[in-house]
Amino acid sequence: MATGNERRIARLAKTGDLPRADLKALMATLTEDEAQILYARAREVRERVYGKAVYLRGLIEFTNFCKNNCYYCGIRRDNCKIERYRLDEATILDCCDRGYDLDFRTFVLQGGEDLRYSDKEICRLIRKIKAQHPDCAVTLSIGEKSEASYRAYFEAGADRYLLRHETANLSHYRRLHPPELSGWHRQRCLQILKAIGYQVGAGMMVGSPDQTLDDLVDDLRYLQVLKPEMIGIGPFIPQKDTPFGQEEAGTLIDTLHLLAIIRLMHPHVLLPATTALGTIDPFGREKGLLAGANVVMPNLSPTAVRGKYLLYDGKICTGDEAAECRRCMAMRVEKTGYHVVVDRGDYKAEDKRKEA
Ligand code: SAM
């Protein structure tokens, strides 16, 4: 006889949704055997939409200066223990060139909210990347900006924007951030990005301080309403020089459960197996792929600055050359039975006729 959780998994796989109480029960009581069933369903769904392909995103962490003071983040403004850096345009373009030769067809420009780069400079950079590599997608992950800035980047050629909502519960958001930041404003930015036409990525940290199962269900509900093209989730990991330096990390298991649940709720979504997942478990990214993820994000930043973009303690891949990261990633992916493809890896929209 099927267990309660097996019935919940079957219903989630069939309808893409569950009532709040069932989602909470699933997350709270899933056994190892049931989890394997959940992951298998998630793999079926991802393979139906994306086959065995795993998309590469080349991450360029171009500045660790940040005007914000998020309590969890190692590059927060008040962390005076880290050495700050910013990459100039020529270096970033060089990272893209090397990435292109290594088969990357998406470049993710990520950084703290660094006011030193003007919109004009960001737009020029996007234009240059697109001119050098017209077959590539440019993803920005540079935080909360004005609508005018988001529009300017889009018009310059940016295709995608990653802005994790972090937590959908506004009072939990206040627990994780200083008073000048608000969850409402972050969610407003996501709406604007969607309306402009970006492929948008939202997401949350798993196991952040004081996060409850209800908060996670709120996150899942928020994602169902926003319908982002990408969902980035990863465990919270403490960074010792932040206010949350002594808090407990999120767990591998909770993150894997959520990846699989998200895959069943969003069959078409682009879902990375994140570096944070690889940091809390040596095979975390492989396990993420086997729980429904279909994207990996190796680092293309110059090795000299890798160790300075320390959002959390123990971050992996801080010493390797880009080529080494790429090789290592391909091998890891192959071992899961999937394979890395040379492709921009755009969102595959639902074919309503086929799925009706
Ligand atoms: N400034 C941009 C922004 O606000 O979206 C992008 C950079 S921000 C450092 C990228 C992501 O890192 C955040 O959205 C957050 O979820 C994640 N992050 C920061 N500190 C973390 C930690 N201690 N553990 C896990 N993830 C963390």
Q: For CA atoms 120, 122, 128, 133, give the dihedral sign.
A: negative
Cα–Cα distance, 260 to 280 (Å, whole number): 18
Across the chain, mean pLDDT equals 97
Supply the pLDDT for residue 10.
98
Nearest to 163 by CA among 235, 242, 230, 87: 230
Q: Which residue has the higher pLDDT, 352 or 5?
A: 5
Cβ 27 vs Cβ 257: under 8 Å: yes
Paired with 199 in beta bridges are 160
Supply the pLDDT for residue 350.
80
Cα–Cα distance, 178 to 147 (Å, whole number): 23
Q: How is domain 19-341 classified at the CATH fold level?
A: TIM Barrel (3.20.20)
Cα–Cα distance, 50 to 269 (Å, whole number): 10
Cα–Cα distance, 181 to 236 (Å, whole number): 19
Supply the pLDDT for residue 351.
74
* Ligand 1 atom closest to Cα of residue 141: 6
Cβ 6 vs Cβ 223: under 8 Å: no
- pLDDT (average), residues 325-350: 96
Supply the pLDDT for residue 221.
98
Q: How does residue 355 score in pLDDT terms, banded at 50, 70 and 90?
A: very low
Task: Say if residue 71's pLDDT is above 70.
Answer: yes
Express as a percent the part of the chain with pLDDT over 90.
Answer: 97
Q: How does residue 352 score in pLDDT terms, banded at 50, 70 and 90?
A: low
Task: Say if residue 334's pLDDT is above 70.
Answer: yes
Supply the pLDDT for residue 353.
59
Taking only the tens place, the pLDDT of each residue in 13-27 is 999 999 999 999 999
**Ligand 1, CB cutoff 6 Å, lining residues:** 72-73, 75, 110, 112-113, 141-143, 163-164, 166, 205, 234, 236-237, 239, 276, 311-312
- pLDDT (average), residues 221-246: 98
Q: Which two tokens stand for residue 53?
A: 């392909």
Taking only the tens place, the pLDDT of each residue in 156-209 is 999 999 999 999 999 999 999 999 999 999 999 999 999 999 999 999 999 999
Task: Say if residue 278's pLDDT is above 50.
Answer: yes
* Ligand 1 atom closest to Cα of residue 162: 5
Closest residue CA from atom 25 of ligand 1: 236
DSSP labels for 166-235?
Answer: B-S-HHHHHHHS-TT--HHHHHHHHHHHHHHT-EEEE-BEES-TT--HHHHHHHHHHHHHH--SEE--EE
Task: Say if residue 143's pLDDT is above 80.
Answer: yes
- pLDDT (average), residues 109-119: 98
Task: Say if residue 73's pLDDT is above 60.
Answer: yes
